[in-house]
Amino acid sequence: DAGVTQSPTHLIKTRGQQVTLRCSPKSGHDTVSWYQQALGQGPQFIFQYYEEEERQRGNFPDRFSGHQFPNYSSELNVNALLLGDSALYLCASSPAGSGGSYEQYFGPGTRLTVT
């Protein structure tokens, strides 16, 4: 049973560029959440997707956007990259029918470095 997968593993971008990160949820999960984890900090919630719509959003600017596909996989897009966007980006999926996202299972993350 495959867990949550993310791609790519590492990414280096230049300020002002745009980036797309991808996530495939755990089998049987229909809800995907994205988190940003700065070095030495706990993960911070970006947003969550359910039924191909953004269900809740954290305190992140509009430069951060996402999408969920019919197969429940998801993308995180970040435009106009800033140096401060350098972080580990984590995707988490939740079981179908949970009514929420109480138990979230994380992928290995994508390490984004902005230079």
- Contacting positions for another protein (CB under 8 A): 4, 33, 35, 41-45, 48, 55-56, 58-59, 90, 92, 99-109, 111
CA 102 – CA 98 distance, rounded (Å): 7
Q: How far is the CB of 54 from another protein (least distance, A)?
A: 10
Q: How far is the CB of 48 from another protein (least distance, A)?
A: 4
CA 13 – CA 38 distance, rounded (Å): 16
In the complex with another protein, the residue whose CB is nearer, 19 or 35, is 35
In the complex with another protein, the residue whose CB is nearer, 15 or 99, is 99
The CB-based long-range contact list for 96-103 (8 Å cut-off, 24+ gap) reads 96/28, 96/29, 96/30, 96/31, 98/31, 101/31, 101/33, 101/48
In the complex with another protein, the residue whose CB is nearer, 46 or 81, is 46
Q: How far is the CB of 83 from another protein (least distance, A)?
A: 21
Q: How far is the CB of 80 from another protein (least distance, A)?
A: 24
CA 80 from centre of chain: 17
